[in-house]
A and B are shown apart, each in its own frame.
Chain A
Amino acid sequence: GENVEQHPSTLSVQEGDSAVIKCTYSDSASNYFPWYKQELGKGPQLIIDIRSNVGEKKDQRIAVTLNKTAKHFSLHITETQPEDSAVYFCAASRPGGSYIPTFGRGTSLIVHP
């Protein structure tokens, strides 16, 4: 089955700095890669996703890049703010009629004011 590795497990940055979280996946057939943000006591919330037919996607301060050859994808957050502090999860999913993602172990991002 699919295996998703996520690094780092903890990331501490100063407000205004950029943050980068990296994930690798094992199943070359995976073609959909969402990123989730989980705040304390809440369920994960989708913040951005990318499909295998594109290499990069941006949404304001958030961007995701995908390298299919190397089987890795990354989340980039620019101009970080204290409210970005949360646990971020990457996931990978195979094509098919049903969407069943495999999640990474998560990255705890701490943004210091």
Chain B
Amino acid sequence: EAGVAQSPRYKIIEKRQSVAFWCNPISGHATLYWYQQILGQGPKLLIQFQNNGVVDDSQLPKDRFSAERLKGVDSTLKIQPAKLEDSAVYLCASSFSGAKETQYFGPGTRLLVL
């Protein structure tokens, strides 16, 4: 089966610019997660979707980050405007139902903000 797809793989932008990341989860997976992984740290959950509804976005900096999963399949994560501290790898993961189910991670998008 195809894995979680993410694009782009790399992005370099200047601070105050906008950027968007795309994720296509494994077919049939209802739950989708976006994580931020800063160099040398473990992934930190930004937002979790169940189908097209938000389950948890308590750690999403809502003044600059937004995410959507309009049709319950693909998802986009946007940062506007970007700050230097947003430099990180943004990982998307999906699972069948979310309740103690194995998460499958995509390869991530490496963002560098200059």
1/0 per residue, CB under 8 A from A, across B74-114: the answer is 00000000000000000101010011111101111000000
Instruction: Determine whether B14 belongs to the interface, using a CB cutoff of 8 Å to chain A.
Output: no
Q: How far is the CB of A60 from chain B (nearest CB, A)?
A: 18
Asked if B105 and A99 make an inter-chain contact with CB atoms under 8 angstroms apart, the answer reads no
1/0 per residue, CB under 8 A from B, across A83-110: the answer is 0000001010100011111011110000
B4 surroundings in chain A (CB, below 8 A): 43
Residue of A nearest to B91 (CB): A43
**A105 CA / B39 CA spacing, docked (Å):** 10
**A39 CA / B93 CA spacing, docked (Å):** 16
Interface residues on B, range: 20 to 34
**A46 CA / B95 CA spacing, docked (Å):** 12
Residue of B nearest to A9 (CB): B40
Count chain A residues whose beta carbon lies closer than 8 angstroms to a beta carbon of B.
22
Instruction: Determine whether B43 belongs to the interface, using a CB cutoff of 8 Å to chain A.
Output: yes
Asked if A91 and B42 make an inter-chain contact with CB atoms under 8 angstroms apart, the answer reads yes
Number of A-B contacts defined by CB within 8 Å: 55
A44 surroundings in chain B (CB, below 8 A): 43, 91, 105
Asked if A104 and B42 make an inter-chain contact with CB atoms under 8 angstroms apart, the answer reads yes
Instruction: Determine whether B55 belongs to the interface, using a CB cutoff of 8 Å to chain A.
Output: yes
User: In chain B, residues 1-47, which have Cβ atoms closer than 8 Å to a Cβ of chain A?
Assistant: 4, 40-45
Asked if B99 and A43 make an inter-chain contact with CB atoms under 8 angstroms apart, the answer reads no
Q: Knowing A43-B93, A43-B107, A46-B103 are in contact, say whether A98-B48 is a contact too (CB < 8 A).
A: yes
Q: How far is the CB of B42 from chain A (nearest CB, A)?
A: 3
A6 surroundings in chain B (CB, below 8 A): 42
Among B44, B91, B103, B106, point to the contact of A99 (Cβ < 8 A): B103
> Please, could you name 17 A-B residue pairs with CB atoms under 8 Å apart, sorted by A?
A43-B105, A44-B43, A44-B91, A44-B105, A45-B105, A89-B43, A91-B42, A97-B98, A98-B50, A98-B55, A98-B56, A99-B99, A100-B48, A103-B42, A105-B40, A105-B42, A106-B41
CB-CB nearest 5 A-B residue pairs = A103-B42, A43-B105, A89-B42, A44-B105, A99-B100
